[in-house]
Amino acid sequence: MKKIGFVLIVLGFVSAAVSCRKSGEGDSADGILMFRFDGNPRELSKVSAELPDTNDFIITVTDEGGAVVFNDAYRNLPEFMEVPPGSYGIFARSEDFSGLEFSSPQYGDQQCVVVPPGGAMTVELGCRQINSGIRLNISPDFLTAYPDGVLFVKAGGMRLMYSYTEKRIAYFEPGPVSLVLSDGGRETVLLTRNLVAQEILTLKVSVSSGAAAASKGISISLDTSRVWTSETYVIGDEDSKGGSYEEALTVSQALASVGREDVWVSGFIVGGDLTSANASFSPPFKSASNLILGPRSSSSSRDNCIAVQLPSGDVRDALNLASHPEMLGRLVCINGDIESSYYGMVGLKSVSDFVLK
């Protein structure tokens, strides 16, 4: 029987830690692990692919020392797994994944449980997509401008050629993914995005034709099972935007526009209190001299955001989160110079103006 959600059941106390630590010493009586799939699958969403048969899911159980206790298909799990007391990592996945492949969504989850001496434990693992994906939509004007050009998707040290007629999604481990153009023996990284698990980026690639350029906006839609992001990338169009707050660069475009000066950038105020290694995305905030702009109000990763240096004066007085925590989540356009590093992030400095939206 094919099901969407599943539960690994072990009667008793739950530990939700992803990495397992050593349990305390004491009684050495064995404990019991029991496993079963949830009998009430969640409804498929309009973009969800039906999951493989749950009997084919690969279940890996490791002890606190990293030794593999079980690694096989769900169908081959014993009804009762007798184990010594201690911490156990449980990783469930729909298939093994090499790192960068077409049409290979991987579903599963991982948790840690602590089995007490002579006892039994319970853990519920939600079944979700655990890798990320990218899909290209290459417009005809790209083919005209680059007849000998080849596009590659690059992630995790691997690369995959994306032909002009390719419609499949390329899947990769969560993290940075780059779009690379190879033309005339020269390779150019067009852009890099950092995707999390479940996130699918649909990227339209076209070439600027001046005022007649294609739509430049970013739109985001959420699905109940996976996050789908849609974005348009116009080759040669980067310098045509940012001259006014009405045509402000998005945060993603700003990250790819280091070196531009006197440019407007639009984004959501998502955090502050920057240091070279850390940032805060939740109040209270202490620093009035900086903030973070994200591509959406829920952004919480430095990799996807741009840092903003707030000079003393009207801009700082109006936008700093230490004095105005209500600004968290607000959409704002800010004018300044995009520099390669500010507290270890791409930064917007020499800020001179802003417009709240």
pLDDT tens figures, 32-53: 887 765 533 333 333 344 566 7
> What would the pLDDT profile of 121-147 be if each residue is shown by its tens digit?
866 666 788 899 999 988 888 888 888
196 and 224 in a single domain? The answer is yes
Q: Residue 297: which CATH number?
A: 2.40.50
> What would the pLDDT profile of 253-285 be if each residue is shown by its tens digit?
888 888 999 999 999 999 999 998 899 999 999
Average pLDDT, the chain: 80
- Tokens 């040669």, residue located: 236
**Secondary structure (DSSP) of 147-159:** TT-EEEEEETTEE
146 and 232 in a single domain? The answer is yes
Peptide bond into 283 cis (omega under 30): no
Q: Can you list the positions of beta strands (E) in 4-143?
A: 31-33, 58-63, 68-73, 81-83, 86-93, 100-102, 107-115, 128-129, 132-138
Are 347 and 339 in contact by the 8 Å Cβ rule? The answer is yes
Residue 204 included in any domain: yes
111, two tokens: 């948790």
Residue 285 included in any domain: yes
Indicate the pLDDT class of residue 11, thresholds 50, 70 and 90.
very low
Residue 251 included in any domain: no
Give the residue from 209, 240, 271 where a domain finishes.
240
d(CA 57, CA 59): 6
> What would the pLDDT profile of 199-229 be if each residue is shown by its tens digit?
899 888 888 764 333 333 322 233 445 667 6
275 and 332 in a single domain? The answer is yes
124 and 136 in a single domain? The answer is no
Q: What backbone torsions phi and psi does residue 355 show, to the nearest 5 degrees?
A: -140, 125
Our count of domains for the chain comes to 3
141 by DSSP, 3-state: which?
helix
118 and 164 in a single domain? The answer is no
211 and 270 in a single domain? The answer is no
217 and 316 in a single domain? The answer is no
120 and 140 in a single domain? The answer is no
Residue 174 included in any domain: yes
Tell me which H or E stretch contains 271: strand 263-272
Indicate the pLDDT class of residue 333, thresholds 50, 70 and 90.
very high
3-state helix, strand, coil in the chain (%, to 5): 10, 45, 45
DSSP 7: B
123 and 54 in a single domain? The answer is yes
Quick one: pLDDT at residue 316? Answer: 96
- The pLDDT of residue 21 is above 90: no
H-only helix segments in the chain: 140-145, 251-255, 314-319
- The pLDDT of residue 15 is above 50: no
Residues 130, 133, 138: CA angle, nearest 5 degrees:
175
| Host domain of residue 141 | 132-240
Residue 306 included in any domain: yes
